[in-house]
């Protein structure tokens, strides 16, 4: 399998609790994840459940089912079902940088079948572009929710 790992960070001028509130509402995924058009959350407990996501990956339609686990610093998710030959896991970690500023780290780990090797450079470029966009869109969603929290 081919492995691709992406990690990105962004600082946001909001308290940690405000960023966590947006991330912990898993339904918000469709607001900031550029590869997701919709997210249907099915909670099992207050801190975990599954989410069915539909969207586009580099313009190609896809859908997948993910487990998620909310923790004190963000959440972690793993793909349970999805496109053949693809495994995905990732999440977010929020850390305070002061009383009104926090840093959000986002990580994604992909495994692709060997038959996708000829596309690996393009896949990497797309994933790094998508992560930058995702962090910008997440920061915007957190700022937008500033007044409602």
Closest CA to 82 of 106, 51, 59: 51
Instruction: Please classify residue 145 by burial: count the beta carbons closer than 10 Å to its beta carbon, then call 0-12 exposed, 13-18 middle and 19+ buried.
Output: middle
Contact between residue 79 and residue 89 where contact means Cβ atoms under 8 Å apart: yes
Which of the four pLDDT bands, split at 50, 70 and 90, describes residue 136?
A: very high
pLDDT tens-digit series, residues 51-106: 999 999 988 999 999 999 999 999 999 999 999 999 999 999 999 999 999 999 99
Task: Give pLDDT, residue 107.
Answer: 98
Per-residue buried b or exposed e for 18-28, using 16+ beta carbons within 10 Å of the residue's own CB: bbbbbbbebeb
Token pair 């586009």 is at which residue? 56
List the domains of the chain with CATH numbers: 2-148 (3.30.530.20)
pTM (2 d.p.): 0.92
């Amino acid at each position: 399998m081919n492995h691709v790992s992406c990690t990105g960070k962004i600082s946001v001028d909001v308290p940690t609790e405000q960023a966590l509130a947006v991330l912990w509402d898993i339904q918000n995924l469709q607001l900031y994840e550029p590869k997701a058009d919709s997210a249907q959350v099915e909670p099992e407990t207050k801190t975990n459940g599954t989410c069915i996501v539909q969207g586009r990956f580099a313009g190609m339609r896809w859908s997948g089912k993910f487990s998620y686990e909310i923790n004190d610093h963000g959440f972690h998710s793993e793909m349970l079902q999805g496109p053949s030959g693809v495994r995905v896991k990732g999440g977010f970690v929020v850390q305070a940088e002061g009383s009104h500023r926090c840093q959000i780290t986002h990580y994604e780990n992909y495994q692709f079948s060997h038959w996708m090797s000829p596309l690996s450079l393009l896949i990497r470029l797309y994933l790094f572009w998508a992560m930058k966009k995702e962090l910008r869109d997440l920061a915007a969603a957190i700022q937008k929710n500033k007044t409602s929290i």
